[in-house]
């Protein structure tokens, strides 16, 4: 069985190829060709954490896998990531375990790539001002991914800790060669932003309709079982797109409070979820209809995304003779 660590996964996973691979996987999911059941989780209430299992099968990519991911929000501000994961890839013909991969790097990369795919489908072609809300690994990966699909010329970073926001802005300026600055508030970061990437563990919304500029494309990947990133007014007005209606509207630990709470309160109905990414890709559902329309991609993460990424990593590892082979007998 092939074993690949985090640094190896990061080196083998090409971001541009990943965005294209996710497009294929999302089209397969919406068409019913891929299998991605709702995730299940074992709860660790004394730490406000959980361990979730996410199996997935994407026949077009020839990959069968399952991810185990732990989410421990209290790790925020410590050296230990809030999200940690392992992925096991199986031979889709025999069911034999074929590879064990670090899943933390894949989770960060595929989540950002999914948001970038949504921006490629929904953001205005000339969108150049990016607001990044949050200061963790997802904030950094989202900034990098958005610069691949839109002509970003200015980045604003906002978070609970101004010092962390400043540090991330300095890193992004250096690595992406795009001017980046830390702002004093989420509202300031969003003022005039044409793409907004929310990557927080917020309890109270960090995206509010009154802070948004007409035509902005919002991506939201943050998760907190006790909170939400997007306010009701934004959800109600925006063209809402998801990876999977089933996953986004499922109860914890699969679904999104950003949609479930306004649905519960009668602010929206299930029909308000306009499209899945796969439907936009296939053309069965239209995307943006006007330059001033606000679009929202709410991500909960689905296993076919991990499967598509894992397939790319394993293929690259085999081609480059990377990783270690172990026997389980």
Q: How confident is the model at residue 223 (pLDDT cuts 50, 70, 90)?
A: confident
Whether residue 77 has pLDDT greater than 80 = no
Nearest to 305 by CA among 252, 254, 264, 244: 244
Clarify whether residues 308 and 225 are in a common domain.
no
Clarify whether residues 153 and 288 are in a common domain.
yes
DSSP labels, 246-290 = HHHTSPTTTS-HHHHHHHHTTS--GGGEEEEHHHHHHTSS----S
Q: What would the pLDDT profile of 5-22 be if each residue is shown by its tens digit?
A: 999 999 999 999 999 999
Q: Quote the number of domains for the chain.
A: 2
**Distance (Å) of CA 204 to CA 73, 211, 216, 297:** 15, 14, 20, 18
Clarify whether residues 159 and 27 are in a common domain.
no
Clarify whether residues 95 and 33 are in a common domain.
yes
Q: How confident is the model at residue 224 (pLDDT cuts 50, 70, 90)?
A: confident
- Choice among 41-45, 130-134, 221-225, 288-292 with the minimum mean pLDDT: 221-225
Clarify whether residues 53 and 81 are in a common domain.
yes
Tokens of 199: 């990557």
Clarify whether residues 125 and 74 are in a common domain.
no
Clarify whether residues 287 and 183 are in a common domain.
yes
Tokens of 275: 């499209």
Q: What is the CATH number of the domain that holds 21?
A: 3.30.1780.10
Whether residue 278 has pLDDT greater than 90 = yes
Cβ neighbours around 270 below 10 Å, total: 10
Clarify whether residues 45 and 145 are in a common domain.
no
Q: What is the CATH number of the domain that holds 184?
A: 3.40.50.720
Clarify whether residues 94 and 129 are in a common domain.
no
Clarify whether residues 222 and 235 are in a common domain.
yes
What confidence score (pLDDT) does residue 74 get? 85
245 lies in which domain range?
A: 112-302
What confidence score (pLDDT) does residue 253 get? 85
């Amino acid at each position: 069985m092939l074993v690949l660590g985090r640094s190896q996964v990061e080196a083998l996973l090409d971001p541009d190829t990943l965005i294209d691979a996710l497009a294929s996987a999302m089209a397969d999911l919406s068409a019913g060709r891929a299998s991605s059941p709702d995730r299940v989780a074992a709860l660790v209430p004394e730490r406000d954490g959980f361990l979730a299992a996410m199996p997935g099968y994407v026949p077009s990519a020839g990959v069968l896998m399952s991810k185990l991911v732990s989410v421990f929000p209290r790790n925020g501000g410590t050296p230990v990531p809030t999200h940690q994961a392992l992925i096991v890839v199986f031979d889709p013909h025999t069911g034999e375990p074929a590879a064990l991969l670090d899943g933390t790097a894949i989770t960060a990369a595929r989540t950002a790539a999914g948001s970038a795919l949504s921006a490629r489908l929904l953001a205005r072609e000339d969108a150049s001002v990016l607001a990044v809300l949050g200061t963790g690994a997802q904030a950094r990966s989202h900034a990098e991914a958005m610069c691949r699909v839109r002509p970003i010329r200015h980045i604003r970073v906002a978070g609970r800790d101004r010092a962390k926001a400043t540090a991330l802005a300095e890193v992004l300026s250096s690595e992406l060669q795009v001017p980046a600055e830390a702002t004093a508030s989420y509202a300031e970061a969003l003022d005039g932003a044409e793409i907004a990437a929310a990557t927080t563990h917020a309890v109270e919304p960090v995206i509010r309709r009154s802070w948004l500029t007409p035509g902005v494309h919002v991506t939201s990947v943050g998760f907190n079982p006790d909170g939400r990133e997007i306010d009701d007014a934004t959800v109600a007005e925006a063209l809402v797109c998801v990876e999977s209606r089933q996953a986004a509207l499922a109860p914890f630990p699969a679904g999104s409070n950003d949609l479930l709470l306004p649905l519960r309160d009668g602010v929206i109905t299930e029909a308000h979820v306009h499209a899945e990414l796969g439907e936009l890709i296939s053309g069965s559902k239209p995307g943006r209809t006007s330059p001033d329309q606000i679009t929202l991609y709410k991500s909960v993460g689905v296993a076919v995304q991990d499967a598509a990424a894992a397939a790319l990593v394993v293929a690259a590892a085999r081609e480059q003779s990377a990783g270690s082979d172990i026997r389980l007998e």
